[in-house]
Chain A
Amino acid sequence: MHLSEGVLEWPVLASAAALSTFGVGLGMRTLSQDRLPTAAVLTAVFFVGGTVHIPIGIGSVHLVLTGLLGVLLGWAIFPVLLIGLFLQVLLLSFGGFAVLGANLLVLALPAALVGALLRPVLRSMMTVNRTSVSLRTAMGLGGVSAALSIGGSILLVALLLWWSGGEQWLSLMYVLSVAHLPALLIDAAVTALTIGTLFRAAPDLCQRLLETPEHV
């Protein structure tokens, strides 16, 4: 899911960085001091989750978890992913500094939008009686949030590549999109199961993660 250094042209990089900076500013407004420890935990989980590889056929996919973070954090996913991606550049050589803004935009924007839509629904479901129906609905919402987030990220990657190189990059766009489909499916399943486990086995923790106040 990460764009590597050197692929995008500088006007695309600069525009993506400007949009990401705006997103980080928006996210910082929702990230009160009280939410910092939880946000730090989710940043670390994003980083650690990225190192979990699931073998599929002869290859393997790693978790992206932006859908889960979008639902749990809302717009605060921008600063959280900024730190997560910064650490991935430094520790794992995923992405790079020049392309940090583009990668942040690609991963955080769809997840933040999906989170803005689905987070209030999940939060309201936590306050009513939790039945098996609401559990399945919560799992479904989790899966949908991951699928939409990663699907949105794939579209944004294609858009940035198209802006950078035009139709010459078309075949690379197709290859990258198809290569990310297994990651989308796996991430949707893992997010659904994680939301389900949080909902069923750790409702207090789920409530704490979801019910933090937002000020935007």
Chain B
Amino acid sequence: MFDVSASGSVVKADERARLWMAILGSVLIASMRDFESTLAAFLVTLIVACTAIFAPKMSLPPLRVGRVGRRLLQINLLSIFIWLTLPWGWTVSQGWSWQPEMATQAAVVTLRLNAIVLWCLVWLSQMEPQVLASSFRALGAPARLALLLYLTLRLLETLTSSRKRLQRAMRARGSAYSLLRRLQGIAQLLVLLIAEGVRRADIFVAALRARGLDLQSTHFYLPSSVSRPLPWRQRWTFTAAIVLLLVAGWGL
């Protein structure tokens, strides 16, 4: 699910700091409006991503070219829509005409889109799901929300494999002839997934209770990797990065 196979270098940054960096960077880039600053942000994220791809010995999580390419391809489908609609204006006298100022706006949107996706890929690749849930809680999310994320992550893998298994079985029984049959098959699949998920969730909750963890309690288990305070060097680096981001955001 998460890309954890490339283990060429140790991910040194703390997960909480990485999550915050991804969120803050996204918000900052999203607030940029003019072409120059957006282009600068895109170039910076491109350099950071290239560093993560081609210099994996640095403390950034390593990235794979194929993975980055696939993500960029997916998200740029919207860019195509934007370029097909935004820069073109229609008037009765002139018909369709190219509007340079709207083309600039389309370029800003496209650059922002790509910069944010690259930035998030850099900071969040190779993050383990359970660590993610704990980081979410450690960053101040309510205990019930973090527990919901934790339970969801536990169920996701089961339901994803169940979906593949059930769909294979349905295809083998020939349930994909007509659209209606296919939709009926999908509805049955969803009901089976809900039933399977509820059964698994009950077992999981019973196991939690058997181990002495109570869902009614507001306490939430945090692994030591994210319940300990940040090491001072990371704390200062993290604080400096946030201040820099905020100052940059203020300047823009």
Contacts and interface: CB of A to CB of B under 8 A. Distances in A.
Nearest to A84: B152
Nearest to B109: A6
Contacts of A28: 142, 144-145
Contact of B186 (A63, A80, A91): A63
B248 interface: no
Given A48-B159, A79-B148, A194 B190 contact: yes
B27 interface: yes
Contacts of A90: 124, 127, 132
A93 B74 contact: yes
Nearest to B27: A98
A93 B2 contact: no
Interface string B25-41: 01101110100000000
Interface residues of B, number: 73
B184 interface: yes
A18 to B, nearest CB: 14
A4 B78 contact: yes
Interface string B52-80: 00000000000000000001001100100
A12 B23 CA distance: 17
B120 A44 contact: no
Interface string B171-210: 0000000010011101111110111011011101100000
18 contacts: A24-B145, A28-B144, A31-B148, A37-B151, A37-B198, A37-B205, A40-B155, A41-B201, A45-B190, A63-B186, A83-B148, A84-B152, A87-B153, A93-B74, A171-B86, A198-B194, A202-B191, A209-B194
Interface stretch (A114-122, A130-138, A148-156, A185-193): A185-193
Nearest to A42: B194
Which A-B residue pairs are the 8 nearest by beta carbons?
Answer: A6-B112, A193-B187, A40-B151, A41-B197, A98-B30, A37-B201, A97-B26, A5-B116
B186 A190 contact: yes
A196 interface: yes
Interface in A4-47: 4-10, 13, 24, 28, 31, 33-34, 36-45, 47
B116 A44 contact: no
B245 interface: no
B47 interface: no
Interface string A54-89: 100000000101001000000000011011101101
A205 interface: yes
Nearest to A93: B71
A33 B144 contact: yes
A98 B156 contact: no
A83 B216 contact: no
A194 B33 contact: no
B51 interface: no
Contact of B148 (A36, A45, A47, A98): A36
A216 interface: no
B206 to A, nearest CB: 10
B147 interface: yes
B188 A197 contact: yes
Given A6-B116, A10-B30, A45 B186 contact: no
B190 A36 contact: no
A83 B154 CA distance: 13
Contacts of A128: none
